[in-house]
Amino acid sequence: MPTGRRWYLLAWDPARDDWRTFRADRIASPMITGPRFAPRDPPGGDAAAYVSRSVSSAPYRYQARIRLHLPASAAAERIPPTVGHLQADGDRACILHTGAESPDVLAIYVAILGAEFEILAPPELAAHIAALADRLTRAASHHEAVAPSARG
């Protein structure tokens, strides 16, 4: 199953008694190891959605839910499945489920999406976004204060 530029294999792991997602480019020397399996329905009935969720947010320390003020179809054009899982929220908004190793990375990512948004979770992400906005404002103000001859 492709997500962006990578292919993933969704498989039931009997040793863990749970579903697992494997990157296809990391599978070396595939071989038949035992009897055939009994087919199972994918988790939640949608294998693609499960893979998108598992590779976009599950492995990260910080999880976020953000309401984007644009339709899910428009957001899907900007956000690859490896970055986040989108859930429609009416006709003109969607919820982005995503994750990152730090709240600052989440703040930067949502800031560059080019859409109005609301933080649904975690609430502490708001402070990181405010700090980023302050740094960017100071940088822009400093640039404007430098004389044109000093810039060039």
How far apart (Å, rounded) are the C-alpha atoms in residues 1 and 7? 5
Q: Are residues 52 and 62 in the same domain?
A: no
Residues 6+ apart with CB under 8 A from 33: none
Q: Are residues 61 and 13 in the same domain?
A: no
Residue 68 sits in a domain whose CATH number is 3.30.70.250
Q: Are residues 89 and 51 in the same domain?
A: no
User: 67 in a domain, yes or no?
Assistant: yes
What is the pTM assigned to this prediction? 0.63
- Provide the token pair at 92: 């003109």
Q: Are residues 140 and 70 in the same domain?
A: yes
Q: Are residues 67 and 92 in the same domain?
A: yes
Q: Are residues 79 and 135 in the same domain?
A: yes
- Which tops the pLDDT comparison, 146 or 65? 65
pLDDT reading at 105 higher than 50: yes
How far apart (Å, rounded) are the C-alpha atoms in residues 87 and 67? 9
Q: Which domain holds residue 95?
A: 57-152
- Which tops the pLDDT comparison, 142 or 129? 129
For residue range 61-97, what is the model confidence (pLDDT) as tens digits? 889 999 999 999 999 999 987 788 899 999 999 999 9
Q: Are residues 96 and 123 in the same domain?
A: yes
Q: How many domains does the chain have?
A: 2
For residue range 10-49, what is the model confidence (pLDDT) as tens digits? 778 888 888 887 777 877 877 777 777 778 888 888 877 7
Find the range with the poorest average confidence among 10-14, 128-132, 147-151: 147-151
Find the range with the poorest average confidence among 51-55, 87-91, 109-113, 116-120: 51-55
User: 88 in a domain, yes or no?
Assistant: yes
115 and 69 in contact (C-beta within 8 Å)?
yes
User: 107 in a domain, yes or no?
Assistant: yes
Q: Are residues 52 and 66 in the same domain?
A: no
User: 69 in a domain, yes or no?
Assistant: yes
Q: Are residues 51 and 61 in the same domain?
A: no
